[in-house]
Amino acid sequence: MMLGFPHGFTYPVSVISISRSFNPADRNAANSYFFSIMMLIGVIMPFISGIMVNTIGPKFSFIALIPALLRRQIVSGRRSTGTWVSA
């Protein structure tokens, strides 16, 4: 049950976010890109975190994530509202 809540919560929130950010003609492409990136992250992150834990240990692995998370917050704060550029 605990695992079902985040998985059941992610899809509706992402669909609402995409529907508010993109025009109707571009929503399918935005949704496809979003979920393909999410699947790619789900495949790559276990390998990266495993390498980090083996290299620097579990305690320092969490500490190493702090600069990356702060950088992400700074970059996402400067980003403009979602506009989709079609090719």
Q: What's the number of domains the chain is made of? A: 1
Query: Does residue 87 sit within a domain?
Result: no
Query: Does residue 86 sit within a domain?
Result: no
pLDDT at position 86 is 52
Query: Does residue 85 sit within a domain?
Result: no
pLDDT at position 73 is 82
State the chain's mean pLDDT as an integer: 81
Q: Which domain holds residue 12?
A: 4-78
pLDDT in tens, 31-63: 899 889 888 988 998 898 899 899 998 888 888
Query: Does residue 71 sit within a domain?
Result: yes
The answer to whether 19 and 79 are in contact (CB under 8 A) is no
Query: Does residue 56 sit within a domain?
Result: yes
Measured distance CA(39)–CA(6) in Å, rounded? 15
Query: Does residue 66 sit within a domain?
Result: yes
Across the range 7-28, mean pLDDT stands at 85
Query: Does residue 48 sit within a domain?
Result: yes
Contacts from 3-11 at CB under 8 Å and sequence distance 24+?
none
pLDDT at position 42 is 86
